[in-house]
Amino acid sequence: MHLVFKPHPERQRGFTLIEMVTVIAIIAIIGTMSTGFIRTSIASYVSTEQNLDLAAQADFALRKISRDVRNALPNSIRVSNVGANQFLEFVPIAGAGRYRAGLISDGNGDFLNFQTADTSFDVLSPGIDISSGSKLVIYNLGVDKADIYYSPASDNNTADITSLGSNIQRITFASKQFPQASPNNRFFVVRGASSYVCDVDNGELVLYSNYNILQSQPSSIATLDSLTTKQIVVNGVSACSIRYAAGVLQRSGVVTIALRLNRGNASARLMHILTVVNSP
C-alpha cells in the first residue's frame, strides 16, 4: 500500500507579478518621500547651525568692543561715519590711580602742583606699571584744554611720563602745568588711541590699536592703515551702525552698536547697548 500526501491548497499560494510590482512601487514612493524629508531636515539643520555660528561670531565681536570701550579714558570716545563705514575711536586706559594733592602733616610729600609747572608727584594708590611711550592724563573733560585731543599738546591735559618700570610709587613727567585739578585727585596713564572700524566695503570689522593720538579723528581706512596695522575681528560684515550719546559730565554715556553678518545663506543681526563711565 502506498500513501500519497497532497499539499494543502493554502500552502500553494504565492505572490503574483502584479502584487510584487505594487509592493515595489509603494516602497519606491515611501523611499522617495523619506529621502525628501531627510534632505529637508538636514538642510534645515545645516542652515540653523550656520546661522547660530554667525550669531556667535557677531556676539563675540560686540562683546570685545564692549569690553574695550568700557576701559576707555573718560570722554575719549569719538564716532563718525563715512558712507556705510563706521568709525569708533577711544583711548584705552593703561593704568590709573590717585595723586597726592598736598603736603602731609610733617611737611613732606611730593604733591601735584596746579599753580605752576610740575614734574612729579607721589602715587597714593598702589604702585602701577608704566611702559615706554606712556602719557599722564589729568581730568579729561573732553572740553577746551581739558581734552586729550586738544592741540597743541603743550596746552592740553597730558604729559609724557619719564618714570618707567614696575610698581611705580612716584611718577615723573615732562614739565607741565595741568589746566585743571581732578576733584577726586585721579590720574590716568595711556599709551595711544584705538579704533574699531566697520569696513562694510570689504566686509570686515577691524581693530587698529596703539597709534598716536590725533586732534581730528581718523575717519578713513587709508589714514588708519598709515598709522598702524589692523587686526580683523570678524568677516562677513554687510551692515553696521554705531551711535554715541555722551550724556553730561559726571554721568554715563551710551554707545549703541548694531552689526549684521552675512555668509552664504546664513545671516545674523545683533545689537548691543552699553554704558561708559564719563566721570574723570
Give the angle subtended at the CA of 62 by the CAs of 266 and 203, to the nearest 5°.
50
Domains of the chain plus CATH, in order, are 49-92+193-277 (no CATH), 95-190 (2.40.30)
- How far apart CA 144 and CA 218 sit, in angstroms, is 20
Smallest CA-to-CA distance from 123 within 147, 95, 148 is with 95
Contact 257, 75 (CB under 8 A): no
- How far apart CA 164 and CA 187 sit, in angstroms, is 16
Cell of 32: 522617495
Smallest CA-to-CA distance from 94 within 136, 31, 66 is with 136
* pTM for the whole structure: 0.81
H-run or E-run covering 20: helix 17-70
Give the pLDDT score at 7: 57
Give the β-pairing of 230-235 and 237-245: unpaired
Contact 210, 190 (CB under 8 A): no
Phi and psi torsions of 130, nearest 5°:
-130, 130
Give the pLDDT score at 110: 95
Contact 272, 257 (CB under 8 A): yes
Q: Provide the residue-wise pLDDT of the chain in tens; the chain has 280 residues.
A: 555 555 555 555 666 777 677 777 777 677 666 665 556 655 554 556 777 888 899 999 999 999 999 999 999 999 999 989 999 999 999 999 999 999 888 888 999 999 999 999 999 988 999 999 999 999 999 988 999 999 998 899 999 999 999 999 999 999 999 999 999 999 999 999 999 999 999 999 999 999 999 999 999 999 999 999 999 999 999 999 999 998 765 578 899 999 999 988 888 999 999 888 888 8
Count CB atoms within 10 A of the CB of residue 262.
15
Give the angle subtended at the CA of 86 by the CAs of 81 and 90, to the nearest 5°.
100
Count CB atoms within 10 A of the CB of residue 243.
14
Give the angle subtended at the CA of 58 by the CAs of 54 and 63, to the nearest 5°.
145
Give the pLDDT score at 33: 66
3-state secondary structure 255-277: EEEEEEEEECCEEEEEEEEEEEE
If 0-12 CB within 10 Å is exposed, 13-18 middle and 19+ buried, where does residue 172 land?
middle
- State yes or no: cis peptide before 152, omega within 30 of 0: yes
Give the pLDDT score at 45: 44
